[in-house]
Copies of this chain bind each other. A is one copy, B any other.
Amino acid sequence: MGVHQYFKSLSDLEKLYRCPGKFKFQEHSVASHSFKVTKIAQFFGTVEEQAGNKVDWKSLYEKALNHDYNELFTGDIKTPVKYASKELRDLFSQVEEQMSKKFVLREFPKEFQSIYLERFKEGKDDTLEGKILSVADKVDLLYESFGEIQKGNPESLFQEIYEESLMTILEFKEMVSVQYFLKEILPDMLNEKFIEHSELNSITKKIIKANLSD
């Protein structure tokens, strides 16, 4: 009981793996996903600020850092379930909120309760910070699915996730940071050179030739 329970719960997020029930070459925990999303949001905020938009940094960091904390209570429920019916999704959100609220009221001393109730709320609203979070969350998902495709994961789910992530990012195409991403970052990701096993032969010969002729 108390803030200790909250600190201890952070470690549970290290044991909560994303996208359960599918073979992956590299697993990602909710803890490290949250880290990466916050770092990506930091970059997107920087781009917006340089373009002259006002960024509320305190709000942006709070949103990014805490955006999946509630999965502690519900787990990373499979996406198709969450969206199987609008009714379920709404009810699900309600339950999540109730459980989160109950946790805050039980574990946090009075003086911190309102602050943490606020922090654990859904952060993807219409503010600039909310929109950056929506995009950063999907950028990390895009990288996760790209990583699987690149390593040769035959599961078509990862192509679906890749496409779905990209389409969500494009919903925010009017944002300067999204335009930056599409123009400067995404092409580099797609241009990643692959090591072809078949090239090894010629590489090897070239190296041997160059070094034997010394």
Chain A: residues with CB nearer than 8 A to chain B?
A: 1-8, 10-17, 20-26, 28-32, 34-36, 38-40, 42-43, 46, 50, 57-58, 61-62, 65-66, 71-78, 80-81, 84-85, 87-88, 91-92, 95-96, 98-99, 109, 111-112, 115, 139, 143, 146-147, 149-154, 156, 158-159, 162-163, 166-167, 170-171, 173, 182, 184-186, 188-190, 192-195, 197, 200-201, 203-204, 207-208, 211-212
Contacts and interface: CB of A to CB of B under 8 A. Distances in A.
Nearest to A211: B170
A6 B84 CA distance: 20
Nearest to A85: B95
A46 B170 contact: no
27 contacts: A3-B185, A4-B189, A7-B139, A7-B185, A8-B143, A8-B189, A10-B36, A11-B26, A11-B143, A15-B22, A15-B26, A23-B151, A38-B65, A39-B65, A73-B80, A74-B77, A75-B78, A81-B96, A84-B95, A151-B152, A156-B193, A158-B195, A159-B203, A166-B204, A167-B211, A170-B207, A173-B211
